[in-house]
Each structure stands twice: as structure tokens, then as C-alpha cells.
Structure 1
Amino acid sequence: MYEKYSRQALPTKEYRALLGSALCVFNSNNAFIIENILRNDEDKKYNWYKLIDLESGKLHSFIKEIIADSKIADLFINIVDMRNRIIHSFQITDIHDNKQKLATKTKAPENKQFIITEDYLMEFIELNEILSSLLHDLRGY
């Protein structure tokens, strides 16, 4: 698929919409995690500038220390791993449907392609919705 703004082959509009939504819900939750860390940091050891500069995966220890909710911490790290797969992907033509998609490679010794399907993106979005609900409950309003 091509667009007026690019002559490069692109995934379908639906796929790109899911991909954009996936990135947006993750970014929202990443900021929400930081908000909750700061809100629960009774000793005021951390500030927004320090936390926003961290790679998302490095927030895990702050979640465990300050928020102290293993469900939130475990879900967030799972979401970060899924996000990393999306971000560090490469574009392919899927041999099953001849459509442009993103994929990554599993680590050696398997070295197999992992295709980022619409279902994967939907699961990612749904997990982010669960995380958002948990963070809203933690915040208390």
C-alpha cells in the first residue's frame, strides 16, 4: 500500500492505526506510571525529570519500590517487553497474506521471525487498558 506522502510500501491503514494506537496507549501509561511513582513517593526522592529520562524498563524497580504492587509491576514489565518487540522490529512482506507487517527475530539458536500481527497489537492495547485501570484504582480517583 502506498500513500501520497510516501512511495514506500506500507502496511494497511488498519494495521497502521493499531500500531499508532498501541504506541499512544503505551506512552500514556508510561507517563501514568511516573505520575503514580511521584504521587506515592513519600520521601520525595524522585522527580519527574529523572524518571521521564529513564528507559521504560528501568522504571520497574521504582514501581516495585514506591508503588509496591507486584501486579502492576509485572504487567508493566510484560507490556514493556511487548513494546520493545514492536519498536525494534523490521518491515516484512508476510508470506501468508502478502501484506506488509512488522516482525522481529527470536534469539539464537531459533532465529525465527516473529510476526507482529493485528492480534498481537490488539493484545498489547488490551493489556495497556488493564494497566490503566489498575493505575486509576491506585490513584484513587
Structure 2
Amino acid sequence: MYESYTRQSLPPESYRELLGTALCVFNSNNAFVIENFLNEPVEDTWHQLINKMSGKLLRHVENQFEKRNAGKVLELFEKLIGKRNRIIHRFQMTDSNGQQTLATKEKETDKQFQITEEYLFDFIKENEKLSNELHNPRGY
């Protein structure tokens, strides 16, 4: 598939929409983790924290979340960082139906797999769980 603004082959529009949604919900949660962290007295500023890669942000905030007994937040966030990394560190391929899609590999084993719509939907749903956990301290 092509668009008027590029001559490069692209995955179908619905797939690209899911991909964009997946990245947006993760980015929202990343900022929400920072917001939750800043609710406590800390020396860090929002500007310092937003510049951290998510994996480094996780390590930076984990003590405070553990003090709040919010280990589930940390567990979900860490899992989502790993899945997000697989989405970001991917390559384009043509699937068995002749469609452009994305694939990636497991970091530890180098086993390659396709980033399917199901993978993206699961990632979006898991981000919803994290968002709910981040809202819990507010009583929502």
C-alpha cells in the first residue's frame, strides 16, 4: 500500500492506526507514571524525568512505588516497556498474504515473530490495566 506522501510500501491503514494507538497509550502511561511519582516530595523535576528512557525511568521510580506498595504498577510497566521495545525495534516485512507488516525478535533468543494486530490489541489492553492501577491511588 502506498500513500500520496510517500512512495514506500506501508502496512494497511488499520494496522498503522493500531500501531499509532499502541504508541500513544504507552506514552500516556509513561507520563502518568511520572505524574504519580511527582505527587510525593522528590528532588526531580518533570523535565528531568520526561527525558529519561522508560527503562531508566522505571529504575528511578521503583523505590517510591515500592514504598506505596504499588508493585503491580512496576510489574506492569516493566512488562509494557519490554513489549514497547519490541514494537520500536522492529523491521518491516511482507507477510504470507503479501501485506506489509512489522516483525521483531525476542531480545534473549533472537527468535523472530510478527507484530500482529492481536499483539497490538493486547498491548493496548495491558496499557489500560496499567492506567487503571495508576488511577487507583486517586480513588477512581
- Normalising by structure 2, we get a TM-score of 0.90
The one-letter code sitting in structure 2 at the alignment partner of 1:126 is K
Aligned alpha-carbon RMSD (Å): 1.5
Residue in 2 that maps onto 1:17:
17
Residue in 2 that maps onto 1:116:
115
Q: Is the 8 A contact 2:86 2:106 kept in 1?
A: no
- Normalising by structure 1, we get a TM-score of 0.90
> How much has 1:98 moved relative to structure 2?
1.8
Residue in 1 that maps onto 2:131:
132
Write the distance in 2 (CA, Å) between the matches of 1:112 and 1:64.
Answer: 30
Residue in 1 that maps onto 2:71:
70
| Partner-residue secondary structure (3-state), 2:34 | helix
> How much has 1:114 moved relative to structure 2?
1.3
Q: Is the 8 A contact 1:103 1:115 kept in 2?
A: yes
Give unmatched runs, 5+ long, in structure 1. none
Residue in 2 that maps onto 1:2:
2
List structure 1 segments (4+ residues) > 4 angstroms apart after TM superposition. Answer: none
Give unmatched runs, 5+ long, in structure 2. none
Identity of aligned residues (%): 53
Residue in 2 that maps onto 1:91:
92
The one-letter code sitting in structure 1 at the alignment partner of 2:31 is A
Write the distance in 2 (CA, Å) between the matches of 1:106 and 1:86.
Answer: 11
